[in-house]
Chains A and B, each alone.
Chain A
Amino acid sequence: MLNAFLCVIRRDLLLAFRRQSDAFAALLFFVIAAALFPLGVGPEPAQLRAMAPGVLWVAALFSSMLSLNRLFASDHADGTLEQLLLCAEPLVVIVAAKTVAHWLVAGLPIVLLAPVLGLLFDLAPDAIGVLVASLLIGTPVLSLLGAIGGALTLGLRGGGVLVSLLVLPLQVPVLVFGAGAVGAQTSGLGASAHLLLLGGVLMFAAVLAPWATAAALRIALD
């Protein structure tokens, strides 16, 4: 089972490496979307600090959306998804592996870039630390919940828009707790409560989302 899990991750990472433009496009979107806000609202540091958590989290959320409809769609188009479904390992293992690979390609780079963008918004070092921690816990949830949407909209026209409509409402708690953690840290309340809630959401999603995604894939391919 572990072999199949690692095999799917290796395969998806190799595919992402061969198609670097896809990953870079989503990352570039994150940087540009976040960088445009200071240009639009002005260079007032206090204002930038206040809006930074929300802006960075919304940019991260939209950036992760960009790659969601490709999570299963390309495998579906070329027939490899059928081969994955016929693999003797449980489908939930395959789905979990693909979700981990998606996070490594689409989520982890956002976490690594966040400190640079935090500086752009004049965030204090401790707030940047909380921002990174909240993204580290929260971006896997974006991939986990996004995978459900990607599977549900498989083979549908306009799947990209539908994924957003399905998944964005589910991701509101992640946005609230993630941005709230940085805001609480900046205002001196401490971020632990928000981060713990975010961790709870991650646990919940990690346990349930792969099963829901696997079920959605079976329905989509039937």
Chain B
Amino acid sequence: MTLEAAQLAGARGGRALFSGLDFTVGAGEALWLRGANGSGKSSLLRMLAGLAEPAAGTVRWRGRDLHRQRDGHLRELLFIGHAPGLKDDLSASENLLFGAQLAGAPVDASAVAEALAAVGLDRVARLPVGRLSQGQRRRAALARLHLARQARLLLLDEPFAALDQASVAALVATLDRLLANGASLIYTTHQPQTLAATQLHAVDLDAHRPRPC
């Protein structure tokens, strides 16, 4: 299973962000998207998730064009964007349960409780997310990694942001385990690289920035 990007170009608000991007991410491999603020890392992740159309080029998942064959891709995708994707008025467990039900995952309340315990949120699982700190919200969003067992493509936008050291270490261990199980990971971070994945690649979007005319 492979995600392939060929001659990919991205634009936002009519402004070109990057162009000529080629990469391949296979099972058990991780790709670190690097670049300065505004270089298009989040836009690229949204493109790979199928949320945005590329300005040029193609993205293929398992050999099929992503924007034509969305269903299979979506069933194997876990996307955690810059915003945590949690409702402030729902508890962390309610958020995860609704999310898992919508994703069609066979998840019950005990699985959600285990996932929240794995990210150290078991004591605040029933509090409204609006009353949690930024770091706790990020951990609640990342608890999806423990629920989406069918996910083969993980797209994570700044997963380490707002996390304390212990949470970073726990997340690294979780990602390494998922990679060892055959998942593919594409992520952005400004933090020093800590993943132990043997097949770790990096793409620097600054090097793909279109030259000014």
Contacts and interface: CB of A to CB of B under 8 A. Distances in A.
A196 interface: no
B89 interface: yes
A155 to B, nearest CB: 12
Interface stretch (A77-85, A104-112, A114-122, A202-210): A77-85
B92 to A, nearest CB: 13
Contact of A82 (B75, B81, B98, B103): B81
Nearest to A15: B89
Interface stretch (A2-10, A123-131, A137-145): A2-10
Chain A interface bracket (under 10, 10 to 19, 20 to 34, 35 or more): 20 to 34
B98 A7 contact: yes
B52 interface: yes
A88 interface: yes
A221 B85 contact: no
Contacts of A222: 51-53
Given A88-B71, A88-B74, A222-B53, A79 B102 contact: no
A18 interface: yes
B204 interface: no
B88 interface: yes
Nearest to A74: B87
A19 interface: yes
A87 B51 contact: no
Contact of A77 (B49, B71, B83): B83
Nearest to B82: A79
Contacts of A94: 102
Interface residues of B, number: 29
B77 A78 contact: no
Interface in A158-193: none
A95 to B, nearest CB: 13
Contact of B87 (A7, A15, A86, A221): A15
B85 A79 contact: yes
B111 to A, nearest CB: 16
B86 interface: yes
Given A83-B85, A83-B99, A88 B104 contact: yes
Contacts of A80: 85-87
B90 interface: yes
Given A19-B89, A82-B85, A222-B53, A7 B102 contact: yes
B102 A83 contact: yes
Contacts of B104: 3-4, 87-89
Given A15-B87, A15-B89, A86 B50 contact: yes
Residue among B84, B88, B102 having the largest count of chain A Cβ atoms under 10 Å: B102
Interface string B22-58: 0000000000000000000000001001111100000
Nearest to A16: B89
A82 B51 CA distance: 8
B187 interface: no
Interface string B126-158: 001000000000000000000000000000000
A8 B89 contact: no
B176 interface: no
A86 B155 CA distance: 12
Nearest to A78: B83
27 contacts: A4-B101, A4-B104, A7-B101, A7-B102, A10-B98, A11-B90, A14-B94, A15-B89, A19-B89, A77-B83, A78-B83, A78-B86, A78-B87, A78-B88, A79-B83, A79-B84, A80-B86, A82-B51, A82-B83, A82-B85, A86-B50, A86-B74, A86-B79, A87-B74, A87-B104, A88-B74, A222-B51
Interface of A: 3-4, 7-8, 10-11, 14-15, 18-19, 74, 77-80, 82-89, 94, 221-222
The 4 A-B pairs at the shortest CB distance, nearest first, are namely A79-B83, A79-B85, A18-B89, A83-B85
